[in-house]
Structure 1
Amino acid sequence: MTQVLRERLAALGMSVDGAAITPLSGGDSGAALWRVDGATPCIVKRDTPERVAGEADGLRALSGACRKLIVPEVLAEDDDLLVMQFLEGTGKRDGAALGEGLRQLHRDSRDADAGHGWPRDNACGLTPQPNAPLADGRAFQRDRRLLPLMRGCRERGALDAALAGRVERAADSLERWLEQAPPSLVHGDLWSGNVLFTPQGPAIIDPAVYRHYPEVDVAMLTLFGGPGDAFFEAYWDGDRPADWERREALFQLYPLLNHLYLFGGTYRQGVARAADRILAG
């Protein structure tokens, strides 16, 4: 495979003569990854053409909107192959810089005239992510995020009727407490593993972008750990929503359903807790 990869990269105009090519773990995404230490160090990902195109589109969108966060440059894209700038994750952890950068991204990309969603579908992990825009963000969260995954979990036997009913009631409650708001560009899958602290500052990788409530990204950062007090102080800048705990539960419910859909019953209790927090208010 290494020789085939060299030939494909050379055909894309990449200088790989004598370059070391090291296989990397693709994690849960199922993609094949390599680090190429050539004249321009890069990461090469092989995935389905649809997922490659979706990720490249997301990286370009974030790169155009981020002024204070680093986004890897797309160096080449060819069918099932994505070539990206290599970023060294050896910098000092800086939660304040991450919070300030994410706040800038969400604030400056807010667009009252844009729908919630994205012009193309993409994927969150291995799960296809439907993004057909809707004017109302609450309808988008219900009809493009929560209910499709709830039904998928039911079909796989990962969700019983009682818990599915609680998830559906939580989804149907949104107009009663969540205000309509202009959408921001969101990373869409911003768990801690998709944040790198480089020597030049924080970077975000592996996006699943769309436009929606900015708390999508903040809630994802708190799902498997936490970014620390300095992050929140910088991100909220004194303007933390009074109902943050309920919003956090809402925007964690989608990734928890996704994990339940992909990996099974270990995540059932997380889904139940999030649904109950939403319903309790």
Structure 2
Amino acid sequence: MDELLKEVLGTVTLKKTGKGGGGCINEGEAYLIDTGTVFVKYNKKPQAREMFDGESDSLKAIAATHTVHVPKPLHVLDNPEGGAVLVLEYLDMKGLTRYSRQLGEELARMHLHNAALGKKQKEEESYVGGQGTENEDEDENKPVYMSQFGFHTTTCCGYLPQDNTFCDDWPTFYARQRLEHQLKLIEKDYGDKEVRELWSRLQHKVPNFFKDLTIEPSLLHGDLWGGNVAESTTGPVVFDPASFYGHHEFELAIAGMFGGFNSTFYQAYHNLIPKAPGFEARHKLYQLYHYLNHWLVFLFVWFSSVG
């Protein structure tokens, strides 16, 4: 793997700095190279390439909004020893303390970004002949308005792939491609028949959580818990995303489950995106997805939290 990294990065030097990092899913290591430092994430699971491709595309999508800062993805490579690696820009980070307010503001602006693109698109389409101001030479990575919920590629929350097939309706997307998908995996993997009965009682009630609510697709980080945020010397940083376009409220569900976000963060966020009626009930509905996901990832450790 070292020789492959040297070749791809065009470096003679490849030396571990000792600033490694890892979590429940991946291992990571910072390396000195000829031009500076990079961070390399490793995972030897068969689905690692799919997971890292999704993470790389998520980081690119977030970066394109010019809101919250993320490490730049450099390469996704198949690991000759099994699995895959993701090579990232190295950022010197520490725990989030000083920049909580800024993170709340930047996250809200990221969630509002797609709606702003939609408004701009409508204004441009109203010009002469409805041709707008489209420039064929525009940067192909420039974000465009997304009218549907989903994402152009698979992303993984933990190591579990998410069904990001585009859908016009958010309640349908969330019920079928998030909750029902997880519950089917639980029944299949653990033989738990009770989840089918519980889901049959809940699924018909899901639309009630969204009555009289207009939902614009927002680009989401997708796994914004306290372990996936930090700060550099210049501001907040988020990483390890599992992005898709969804309801902005979904983002705050896992943020509230494990701590790491203070009242300043929430105040700054809701100053730009106030809570809509029914927020608290939907918050619990959105947390259900993450509890189910943790049940699948961490086996029965989380069963008491779900049940």
Tell me the TM-score normalised to structure 2 length: 0.79
2:231 to 194, 197, 200: 197
| Alpha-carbon distance in structure 2 between the residues aligned to 1:107 and 1:54 | 22
Shift, 1:52, TM fit: 1.9
* Secondary structure at 2:40 match in 1: strand
Larger mean Cα displacement after TM superposition, 215-224 or 97-106: 215-224
Identity %: 27
Q: Contact 1:159/1:268 (CA < 8 Å) preserved in 2?
A: no
Structure 1 partner of 2:150: 117
2:206 counterpart of 1:174: yes
Q: Unaligned regions of 5+ residues in structure 2, if any?
A: 79-83, 119-144
Q: Judging changes above 3 Å, is the alpha-carbon distance between structure 1 residues 261 and 158 closer, same or farther for their aligned structure 2 residues?
A: farther
User: Per the alignment, do residues 18 and 136 of structure 1 end up closer, same or farther by CA in structure 2, a change over 3 Å counting?
Assistant: closer
Are the counterparts in 2 of residues 28 and 126 from structure 1 also a CA contact under 8 Å? no
Partner of 1:106: 111
Residues 110-149 of structure 1 aligned to structure 2 (within 5 Å): 110=115, 114-149=147-182
Q: How does 1:13-52 map to 2 (within 5 A)?
A: 13-17=9-13, 19-22=15-18, 24-29=20-25, 31-38=26-33, 39-47=35-43, 48-52=48-52
Match of 1:214 in 2: 248
Give the structure 2 partner of residue 279 of structure 1.
Answer: none
1:185 aligned counterpart, secondary structure: strand
C-alpha separation in 1, matches of 2:90 and 2:235: 14
**Quick one: structure 1 residues 263 and 92, their matched pair in 2 at CA, closer, same or farther if it must change by over 3 Å?**
closer
The CA deviation at 1:253 is 0.9
SS of the counterpart of 1:41? strand
What corresponds to 1:89 in structure 2? 93
For 1:192, give the aligned amino acid. Answer: G
TM-score, normalised with respect to structure 1: 0.86
Aligned residues: 265
The yes-or-no answer on 1:165 pairing with 2:164 is no
Change (3 A) 1:12 1:244: same
Specify the alignment match of 1:264 in structure 2.
299
CA RMSD between the two structures: 2.2
Return the offset for 1:271: 2.3
Partner of 2:76: 77
Equivalent in 256, 273, 278 of residue 243 of structure 1: 278
Contact 1:62/1:71 (8 A) holds in 2: yes
1:86 offset after TM fit, Å? 1.2
Work out the CA distance in 1 between the residues paired with 2:297 and 2:41. 21
Checking the alignment, whether the CA contact within 8 Å between 1:66 and 1:101 is kept in structure 2 is no
CA pair 62-168 structure 1, distance change in 2 beyond 3 A: farther
